[in-house]
Amino acid sequence: MNIFQVYTVLENYNKGVIMKQSLILVLNCGSSSVKFAIIDPVSGSSELTGLIQCIGMEEASLKWEQGGDKKTQDLPHVAYQAAIDAVVCLIKESGLIDSIAAVGHRVVHGGEAFTESVVIDDEVLKKIKFCSHLAPLHNPANILGIEEAQKCLPDLKQIAVFDTAFHQTMPSYAFMYAVPYEWYNKHGVRRYGFHGTSHKFVTQEAAKKLDKPYEQCAFISAHLGNGCSAAAVLNGKSVDTTMGFTPLEGLVMGTRSGDVGPGLHSYMATTLNCDVNKVTDMLNKESGLLGITGISSDMRTIENAYLKKNEKAILAIELFCYRLAKYIMSYTVPLGRLDALIFTGGIGENGPIIREKVLGWLGIMNFEIDAELNEATVRGKSNIITKSNSPVAMVIVTNEELVIAQDAFALI
């Protein structure tokens, strides 16, 4: 669908001549959780949001919010299919089922097969399954969510929106590794990048805030949460990003190490008398902020310890900010200029200490933080946090679900 067609759809929607089904059900299915939302893709409002967590466990529960009312239902040992059934049942009881036009699915890895969102058919599902070896912790859960939604809601189109798609515009010199070329040709070894929907959303919002055409902007976006990545976005296209072949590469994260030397795997496998897969598992689940501090993977807990002068918390925060600042500085190379540095994600949106330290490391770029604005820009607020005579750094609250809903709506 071209841009003229999209505007025509939205015009007709606003005039009331489009179908009564105008909402999108967004599903984000993890290995033990299902996050869902029913979103109006035009207004951006959420009619219903919820989460089923700890699927298959005794403590499994369904939490949801509609019209300001929050409720919880225990679902002990609920199976995945029954979890999706519970979501559909809740939607029916909410009175929204007849207003849903499509289901938008977050899919973590689309490999090189998908450069944009697509309507799911048998061939698309086959290709998503083929990419599962590239994201063994994520794609199988995404696929299970798709298949269960197809069974429960057979009359609705299902749309796949990929974390990796936004980064498929990276040039080959940015995504290739210096490894035997046949590894790329035969095995798909390359840098893919993730958090694409978030980087896309916040850079588009930043362009609006600067009142500048998106296709003429140069941004560095830092998505900081339990998983972290930065991206260089030039004229509306991703030209580099920190996560690579897997989400383990790049920045320090909650439990992930980020960049380590390639020889570390074999060295630690020998030292610990275990296989390489065990080392990879430890780098994914026992490293990062948790590994350094031994306290928590949650930045809020670590900041509290930092303020109490805990040495490991101080080290973790300094390392986290230093690594991010180095990547930010390096991304001025592909951009050549910078309209704004954007902080987003749970830490990026609510971490004034982190933002101040990162900008402090970037003294050569002449950022001048506005301390009052920086402290005030938390809890769902988006704003510029630098002084008027400074290069721009800003906080943009991300909304990946809205991106999925809008892509799905455009495709139907």
The answer on 153 and 236 residing in a single domain is: no
Decide if 248 is inside a domain: yes
Tell me, yes or no, whether 223 and 122 share the same domain. Answer: no
pLDDT in tens, 27-43: 999 888 999 999 999 99
Residue 36 has a CB neighbour count (10 Å cut-off) of: 26
Q: Is there a domain that residue 173 lies in? A: no
Q: Are residues 37 and 98 in the same domain?
A: yes
* pLDDT 10s digits, 69-98: 999 999 999 998 899 999 999 999 999 999
Tokens of 157: 């189109």
Tokens of 344: 């987003």
Domain shared by 137 and 264, yes or no: no
Identify the domain boundary among 103, 135, 162.
162
The predicted model scores a pTM of 0.92
Q: Half-sphere exposure of 157 toward its Cβ, with a 13 Å CA cutoff? A: 20
Q: Please choose, from the candidates 309, 141, 138, 118, the residue with its C-alpha nearest in 3D space to the C-alpha of residue 227.
A: 138
For residue 314, the SS3 value is: helix
Residue 180, in any domain of the structure: no
Do 126 and 240 belong to one domain? Answer: no
pLDDT tier at 21 (50, 70, 90 boundaries)?
Answer: confident
Q: Which of left, alpha, beta for 305 (phi over 0: left; psi -120 to 50: alpha)?
A: alpha
In a domain, 393, yes or no: yes
Q: Which residues are catalytic?
A: 163
Least confident of 4-8, 240-244, 267-271: 4-8
Range of the domain at 346: 211-400
What share of the chain has pLDDT > 70, as a percent?
95
Q: Are residues 144 and 277 in the same domain?
A: no
- Please say if the pLDDT value at position 387 is more than 60: yes
187 within domain boundaries: no
Is 177 domain-assigned?
Answer: no
- Give the residue among 148, 151, 143, 167 at the shortest CA–CA distance from 249: 167
Own/partner long-range contacts of 206-211 (Cβ < 8 Å, ≥24 apart):
206/339, 206/340, 206/342, 206/394, 206/396, 207/339, 209/382, 209/384, 209/394, 209/396, 210/339, 210/340, 210/392
Residue 146 and residue 251 in one domain: no
User: Which tokens go with 338?
Assistant: 């910078």
What CATH number did the domain enclosing 349 receive?
A: 3.30.420.40
How many independent structural domains does the chain possess?
Answer: 2
Is residue 13's pLDDT more than 60?
Answer: no
Calculate the average pLDDT of the chain.
94
CA distances from 28 to 53, 66, 89, 92, 251 (A): 12, 18, 17, 19, 23
Predicted pLDDT of residue 17: 40
Based on the fold, state whether residues 265 and 138 are members of the same structural domain: no
For residue 140, being part of any structural domain is answered with yes
> 127 and 252 in one domain?
no
Q: How confident is the model at residue 134 (pLDDT cuts 50, 70, 90)?
A: confident
Q: Which residues contact 178 (CB under 8 A, 6 or more apart)?
A: none
Integer angstrom CA distances of residue 282 from 7, 143, 278, 327, 359: 48, 26, 6, 24, 31
Residue 51 shares a structural domain with residue 139? yes
DSSP state for residue 101 in the 8-state scheme: E
Whether residue 188 lies inside any domain: the answer is no
Say whether both 232 and 302 belong to one domain: yes
The Cα–Cα gap between 243 and 223 comes to: 11
Verify that 137 and 231 share a domain, yes or no: no
